[in-house]
């Protein structure tokens, strides 16, 4: 029997609304915090195949979800390419200096070996799943490039002109990332992932005239390659606003994940049947039940008779109560 999320994307089935949550494995769950307390080094935790498999499965044990997403991080790619990556409490990721020679000359087998615990974790999770999808993922070239060159989150400290000042360097890095992102996703598929999501978390920082060069073209190459493995690809180019339909025309994802600034009714009319995922503002999950219900139903009503996967417009916030996730699942399951 095909898992429902896969079926929704592949066949455009609309008689059932699959549901999962970005960042469903992690920081809002007490059982995750227990593991995290004993494992303060985040990179080491992502590279512990037994523990990352356990964390990935925690939400499925609690909730009636349609998919597991492997517990990992988009910055495992820069780490695999030899750049130092660490996570500091209250600050977020801090990356070391970029050694272009090391990155551009990283051999495929060395990269795979360094990240092999991620692929082992996927194999462990796969053995524990029945009729549910297993989502592997990677960052998109632009978002990874931004972290690698900015060496921290661009939230507070970002100047696009500094990032793109060297055209030839950017070209070489993007080409390397196109290859390595596909390699990383292919290894995840080989290990058992049956859906891939590409996160372009900072696509919204690109001006419109740079979207094609740094977002659409590199991502479309990766999507085409992943589709050749006969696996659907969900793309999440967060923050690109009115450019979602252009993104879909250029990149041709199997499914598009929308953020919470997108009007669900308008986007449905523009995308001509491309399956849609997500949309709900994660902050709404911190509010009263009646607000949650009203907003969940807004998305379910907007996408009635349209291939839609219920999700958020970004990841679950750490302050979210597990009971709220349970409540949303019940609303989705009971909606006729």
Q: What is the pLDDT of residues 175-186, one digit of tens each?
A: 999 999 999 999
Answer yes or no: are the C-beta atoms of 265 and 303 closer than 8 Å.
Answer: no
Measure CA 34 to chain center.
24
Average pLDDT over residues 187-214: 97
Nearest by Cα to 29 from 289, 331, 319, 288: 319
Q: For position 326, what pLDDT does the model report?
A: 98
**209: confidence class by pLDDT, cuts 50, 70, 90:** very high
- C-alpha–C-alpha distance, residues 257 and 310, integer Å: 10
Q: For position 162, what pLDDT does the model report?
A: 76
For the chain, give the percent of residues with pLDDT over 90.
88
From residue 101, alpha-carbon distances to 38, 96, 105, 168, 285 in Å are 36, 14, 6, 14, 45
- C-alpha–C-alpha distance, residues 20 and 261, integer Å: 20
**260: confidence class by pLDDT, cuts 50, 70, 90:** very high
Answer yes or no: are the C-beta atoms of 293 and 328 closer than 8 Å.
Answer: no
Which residues, 6+ apart, have CB-to-CB distance to 204 below 8 Å? 237, 238, 239, 240, 241
Q: Does 215 score more than 90 pLDDT? A: yes
Domains belonging to the chain, first-starting first, are: 4-334 (3.20.20.210)
**1: confidence class by pLDDT, cuts 50, 70, 90:** low
Q: For position 174, what pLDDT does the model report?
A: 95
Q: For position 164, what pLDDT does the model report?
A: 73
Question: In the predicted model, what is the mean pLDDT of the chain?
Answer: 95
Per-residue pLDDT of 10-46, as tens digits, reads 999 888 999 999 999 999 999 999 999 999 999 999 9
From residue 215, alpha-carbon distances to 135, 174, 188 in Å are 22, 10, 22
């Amino acid at each position: 029997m095909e898992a429902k999320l896969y079926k929704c994307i592949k066949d455009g089935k609309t008689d059932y609304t699959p549901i999962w949550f970005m960042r469903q494995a992690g920081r809002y769950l007490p059982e995750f915090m227990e593991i995290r307390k004993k494992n303060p080094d985040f990179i080491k935790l992502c590279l512990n195949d037994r523990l990352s498999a356990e964390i990935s499965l925690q939400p499925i044990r609690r909730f009636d979800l349609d998919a597991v997403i492997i517990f990992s991080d988009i910055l495992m790619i820069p780490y695999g390419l030899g750049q130092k990556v660490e996570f500091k409490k209250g600050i977020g990721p801090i990356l070391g200096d970029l050694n272009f020679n090391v990155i551009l000359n990283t051999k495929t087998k060395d990269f795979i070996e360094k990240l092999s615990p991620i692929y082992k974790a996927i194999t462990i999770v796969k053995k524990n799943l029945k009729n549910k999808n297993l989502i592997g993922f990677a960052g998109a070239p632009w978002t990874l490039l931004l972290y690698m060159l900015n060496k921290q989150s661009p939230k507070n400290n970002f100047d696009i002109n500094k990032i793109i000042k060297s055209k030839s360097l950017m070209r070489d890095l993007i080409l390397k990332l196109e290859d390595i992102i596909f390699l990383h996703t292919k290894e995840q598929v080989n290990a058992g992932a049956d859906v891939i999501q590409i996160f372009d978390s900072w696509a919204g920082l690109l001006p419109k005239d740079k979207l094609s060069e740094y977002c659409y073209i590199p991502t479309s190459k990766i999507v085409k390659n992943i589709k050749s493995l006969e696996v659907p690809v969900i793309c999440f180019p967060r923050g690109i606003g009115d450019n979602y339909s252009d993104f879909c025309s250029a990149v041709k994802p199997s499914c598009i994940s929308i953020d919470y600034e997108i009007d669900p009714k308008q986007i449905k009319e523009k995308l001509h049947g491309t399956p849609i995922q997500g949309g709900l503002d994660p902050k709404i999950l911190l509010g009263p039940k009646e607000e949650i219900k009203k907003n969940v139903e807004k998305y379910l009503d907007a996408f009635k008779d349209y291939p839609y996967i219920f999700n958020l417009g970004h990841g679950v916030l750490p302050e979210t109560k597990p009971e709220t996730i349970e409540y949303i699942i019940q609303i989705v399951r009971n909606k006729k």
